[in-house]
Amino acid sequence: MTQLAIEFRTWIISRAVMLSHVVPGCKVESPDSEHVRIVTDKAVANVEFYELEPGEPEVVALNIVPADDPDNPTFFLHFEMDDLDHAKELFDELCEALAQTATAKATRILLSCTSGLTTSFFAKKLAEVAETLSLDYSFEALPIVQALEVAGEYDAIMLAPQVHARRNEMVERHPDLVVFEIPGAVFGSYDAGTALRMLLNAMSENALAARMEQTDTRIVRRLDNDKRILVISATYGSRDSLYSYRLYDCGEVKLDGLVEKPGRSYCDVKDVLATVRLQGVDPHELDAIGLALPGVVDGSTVHMVADDFGMPDFAKYGETLGVRFFVDNNANAAAAGCYVSQDEFENLLVQRQPTGYSVGGQGLIIDGRLVRGNHGLAGELGYFVRTLGRTQEFREQAWTSEGMLALVTLQLMMAIVTTSPEVIYVSADLVPDMDALHDELAKRLPEGAVPTLRSVCDYHERVLVGEYALCVNALRKEGTSES
């Protein structure tokens, strides 16, 4: 082991002992120099050191394995042992997650309608879906009058369409809760799977929500190549980050995975690369790495992200690894993913509108070319929406089906009258009905002028596929210019 790894191992053993003050009965075990285990009644946290190349920094693997479900770790990440302070931060995250696991309780969701009868049946269907996904969720149903009184005992509230008028009252009484209104089309068809996915997205865009998304994207554009390309997509929740990664080897998917992290840091990208490396993929041997990130992407730098993100110029970072980095806005990548997944349209727009967000993101393809704009500002709706001076109103609308329909309509109108796409792909859980959206747009446009509308249920898949396509195209362009 390197000296840095030895120092880290010594530190974590002393640090882990402190957990006994937080989690009664936890034990620290160190069977050999490469392994440290922290054992509790409900889970085991593991720290493992891997030497990939003699003399190079070790890769450290951290995971938490539940006692009742050993095949499904609840915490899993890797990092390269080259920064002791960063390693200590990640271990503290492991300890925090272990403490939460050891004291975790089932997530309680309350459904409410006028009488509670129809939601009782819906609650049973939601429970069945949650059990299938191994989610420790419980669902109960109460009439709205009772729900208003006891909602504080639950983790989230789901309101049936019949009581949407009481939502503001619920929010005022319980401002810290996620109060989610089930769209009428979803509730009326008892589509518990879609409702649960929407709720998970509303609570946090995390791995659980991504697990439920469809992945039926087909590639029909010419993307054949002899390259090895790693693509990484970032999704930011209110308190955490999710990184999806995929390795394409000569066009075939060889590796898929997720890394969930609390907070946001430039080091997260390094940790994803360490995770990939531990699975036998050396970043130095890749032809390119593509990043699809939220925010304004200007060249190879990212702006308008949290102050603590500390994003570098990825072109320069790639030079240290000896690999080309390509960076794109995630909505732009999704637009590319939609484009290569069909061969009918050459002009298209993607509208991404997550639940609870008053500002969406747009990606635009015109004549088969991605429109990034000067300084990467194309599709950055935040600048437009904020000038309207209705920020608070829009934030309230972003939590209801009716309000979200109005928001999406407003933002699409701006795009239609400036770019007039042939088709618009809409990723908005609260706007699943494209007929209703068509009707709203038709009220404001000349007859027959509304573009084709398509709902996107696999947005994150489109982002990964699109970022891969953008990397392939960029590499081809570089190869052509060199020759």
63 within some domain: yes
Q: What percent of the chain has pLDDT over 90?
A: 41
Cα-based distances in Å from 400 to 155, 162, 197, 395, 434: 18, 13, 16, 10, 16
* Number of domains observed in the structure of the chain: 4
Q: What is the pLDDT of residue 382?
A: 77
52, 82, 102 - which closes a domain: 102
Report d(CA 26, CA 13) in Å as an integer.
13
- Among candidates 106, 55, 98, which has minimal Cα distance to 73? 98
Cα separation, 240 vs 203, in Å, equals 11
Closest Cα partner for 400 from 122, 236, 165? 165
- 152 and 178 both lie in a single domain: yes
**Domain that includes residue 393, residue range:** 333-460
In a domain, 221, yes or no: no
C-alpha span between 336 and 349 (Å, rounded) = 10
Burial classification of residue 54, based on how many CB atoms lie within 10 Å of its CB (0-12 exposed, 13-18 middle, 19 or more buried): exposed
CATH number at residue 153: 3.40.50.2300
pLDDT surpasses 60 at 28: yes
Residue 469 lies in a domain: no
Indicate whether 320 and 439 sit together in one domain.
Answer: no
Question: What is the band of 345 on the pLDDT scale with cuts at 50, 70, 90?
Answer: very high
Residue 207 has pLDDT above 50, yes or no: no
Q: Which residue has the tokens 């990130």?
A: 293
Contact status, residue 200 vs residue 185, Cβ threshold 8 Å: no
- Do residues 122 and 192 make contact, with C-beta atoms less than 8 angstroms apart? yes
pLDDT of residue 208 exceeding 80, the answer is no
Task: Check whether residue 408 and residue 444 sit in a common domain.
Answer: yes
Q: What is the pLDDT of residue 308?
A: 45
Residues 322, 415 share a domain: no
Do 17 and 55 fall into the same domain? yes
The answer for residues whose C-beta is within 8 angstroms of residue 280's C-beta and 6 or more apart is none
Dig out the tokens for 307 from the structure.
Answer: 């102050």
Residue 232 lies inside a defined structural domain of this protein: yes
Report the alpha-carbon distance of residue 417 to residue 384 in Å, rounded.
14
**Which candidate, 300, 278, 297, 280, places its Cα nearest to that of 289?**
300
Token code pair at residue 212: 């439920």
Residue 279, token pair as written in the block: 């699975």
For the record, the structure tokens of 71 come out as: 């095949």
Residues 42-77 pLDDT 10s: 889 999 999 888 878 899 999 999 887 788 788 888
pLDDT score recorded for residue 415:
92
In the predicted structure, residue 20 carries a pLDDT above the cut 70: no
For the chain, what is the mean pLDDT?
Answer: 85
Could you tell me the sign of the dihedral formed by the alpha carbons of 329, 334, 340, 344, in that order?
negative
Whether 326 and 347 share a structural domain: no
Report whether 58 contacts 2 (CB < 8 A): yes
The pLDDT, as a whole number, for residue 300 is 66
Do 34 and 115 lie in one domain? The reply is no
Q: What is the mean pLDDT of residues 433-454?
A: 95
Is the residue at 209 inside a domain? no
Whether 196 and 290 share a structural domain: no
For residue 439, the domain's CATH number is: 3.30.420.40
Residue with token string 């015109």 = 366
Burial zone of 376 (CB within 10 Å; 0-12 exposed, 13-18 middle, 19+ buried): buried
Q: ∠74-76-78 over CA atoms, to 5°?
A: 170
Residue 58 lies in a domain: yes
Q: Classify residue 78 as exposed, middle or buried by CB count within 10 Å of its CB (0-12, 13-18, 19+).
A: buried
For residue 214, being part of any structural domain is answered with no
> In this structure, are residues 292 and 281 in contact, taking their beta carbons and an 8 Å threshold?
no
Distance separating alpha carbons of residues 79 and 276, to the nearest angstrom: 10
Residues 93 and 148 in one domain: no
Domain identity same for 352 and 240: no
Q: What is the pLDDT of residues 284-341, one digit of tens each?
A: 899 999 999 888 887 767 765 444 455 667 778 888 888 999 999 999 999 999 999 8
Residue 299 inside a domain? The answer is: yes
Rounded CA-CA distance 418/412 in Å is 10
The residue whose two tokens read 């999710």 is: 242
Whole-prediction pTM value?
A: 0.79
Of 301, 330, 359, the one marking the end of a domain is 330
Same-domain pairing of 118 and 196:
yes
Handedness of CA 380, 381, 387, 390 (dihedral sign): negative
Closest listed residue to residue 79, CA positions, set 69, 89, 70, 71: 89
Give the confidence band of 217 by pLDDT, cuts at 50, 70, 90. very low
Same domain, 337 and 439: yes
pLDDT reported for residue 346 = 93
